[in-house]
Amino acid sequence: MKIIDLNEKYLKTFFCCLEDWSDEMKDAGDHKKKWFEKMKDKGLHVKLALDDNDNACGLIQYAPIEYSPAEGKDLYFIFCIWVHGYKKKGVGNMQKKGMGKALIKAAEEDARSLGKKGIAAWGITLPFWMKASWFKKQGFKKADKTGMQVLLWKSFTEDAQPPKWIKEKKKPQKVPGKVTVTSFSNGWCPAQNIVFERAKRASAEFGDKVDFQEINTFNRDTFLEWRISDALYVNGKQVRTGPPPSYEKIKKLLGKRVKRL
């Protein structure tokens, strides 16, 4: 195993979070590529874990916290850390081999070298991807929490200040006489990009009966107006998007709402 900085050779697999074998990723569009092009000169860092055959098996991406859904000072924010975990797909299950620990250690050392006072990450309380409990085992502490999402951090200096979640400010409103679909999209996460594309495509199936609204939250002012990064709302109510609901499920949900008009 070795840890490297992202380079041209691995861009394609990075854009689909190591799942270039997945048909589902075809629904993600080019949102992450566009996000990367905007972020690469704003302090975004990406490291990959390679196996002995130079296959990309893990990744970590982090950037100044000012571009995240949290607020803090002199901190980096981990958007994602992921080690391939599918047994019979892609490179196979590469978890529990120390890659995650090696990636987070490399990110911490990088952030220190850049003069940051600490590093933050988000985790969830449920026992799957981005587990808060895993970060705690790596020495991170809880700084804040909203719902199932935990904001964790590790300080490098005594004067470092803990980060805070930027809490939701307002929710989308229903358009009278229509089914209103509001999709918030930042671009950094292929899974959420899949949700956006499926919701947009499903909405188009119902013509003018469905009002589809896209809110691009990469723009910081737009994000701070709503304080929502990635989410899907139907008639002002949030739809669960993890894991991404299928196109058929979204279309069925909208069909039910259309019948009630």
Any residues with CB less than 8 A from the CB of 198 and at least 6 apart, and which? Answer: 27, 244, 245, 246, 247, 250
Domain shared by 49 and 78, yes or no: yes
Tell whether 71 and 200 lie within a shared domain: no
- For residue 54, is it within any domain? yes
157 and 202 belong to one structural domain: no
Return mean pLDDT, the chain. 96
What is the residue whose two structure tokens read 């020495």? 139
Q: Are residues 151 and 67 in the same domain?
A: yes
> Band of the pLDDT at 54, cuts 50, 70, 90?
very high
Residue 161 lies in a domain: yes
DSSP state of 10: G
Res. 176 pLDDT band, cuts 50 70 90: very high
> 126 pLDDT band (50/70/90 cuts)?
confident
Give the CATH number for residue 80.
3.40.630.30
116-120, 128-132, 159-163: least confidently modelled range:
128-132
Tally of CB atoms within 10 A around 243? 12
Do 142 and 219 lie in one domain? The reply is no
My answer on whether 47 and 115 are in the same domain is: yes
Domain boundary among 121, 141, 165: 165
* pLDDT tops 90 at residue 7: yes
Tell me how far CA of residue 232 lies from CA of 32, 148, 238, in angstroms. 18, 17, 6
Please indicate, yes or no, if residue 173 is contained in any of the structural domains: no
Q: What would the DSSP string read from start to end of 27-85?
A: GGTTHHHHHHHHHTTTT-EEEEEE-TT--EEEEEEEEEGGGSSEE-SSEEEEEEEEE-B
CA neighbor of 14 nearest in space, from 84, 114, 99: 84
Q: How many domains does the chain have?
A: 2
Query: Could you tell me the residue range of the domain that residue 245 belongs to?
Result: 179-259
The tokens of 102 are what? 């090696």
Task: Tell me: pLDDT of 128 over 80.
Answer: no
On whether both 44 and 151 belong to a single domain, the answer is yes
In this prediction, residue 211 carries a pLDDT of 97
Residues 92 and 157 in one domain: yes
Last residue of a domain, one of 165, 200, 218: 165
Judge whether 160 and 118 are in contact, CB under 8 Å.
Answer: yes
Confidence at 242, pLDDT banded by 50, 70, 90:
confident
Q: pLDDT band at residue 188, thresholds of 50, 70 and 90?
A: very high
* 119/236 same-domain check: no
Residue 205 maps to a domain = yes
- pLDDT at residue 127 greater than cutoff 80: no
Question: Do residues 161 and 189 share a domain?
Answer: no
The tokens describing 221, both together, are 């002012």
In a domain, 174, yes or no: no
Q: Which range among 46-60, 63-77, 115-129, 193-207 shows the weakest confidence by mean pLDDT?
A: 115-129
Tell me, yes or no, whether 172 lies in a domain. no
The model's confidence at residue 129, banded by pLDDT at 50, 70 and 90, is: confident
Assign residue 232 the CATH number of its domain: 3.40.30.10
Among candidate residues 165, 189, 206, the one where a domain is terminated: 165
pLDDT for the residue numbered 138: 97
What percentage of residues in the chain have a pLDDT greater than 70? 100
Same domain, yes or no, for 134 and 231? no
Burial of 221 per CB tally in 10 Å (0-12, 13-18, 19+): exposed
Cβ atoms of residues 130 and 81 within 8 Å? yes
Q: Is residue 171 part of a domain?
A: no
In a shared domain, residues 82 and 145: yes
- With cut-offs at 50, 70 and 90, classify the pLDDT of residue 60: very high
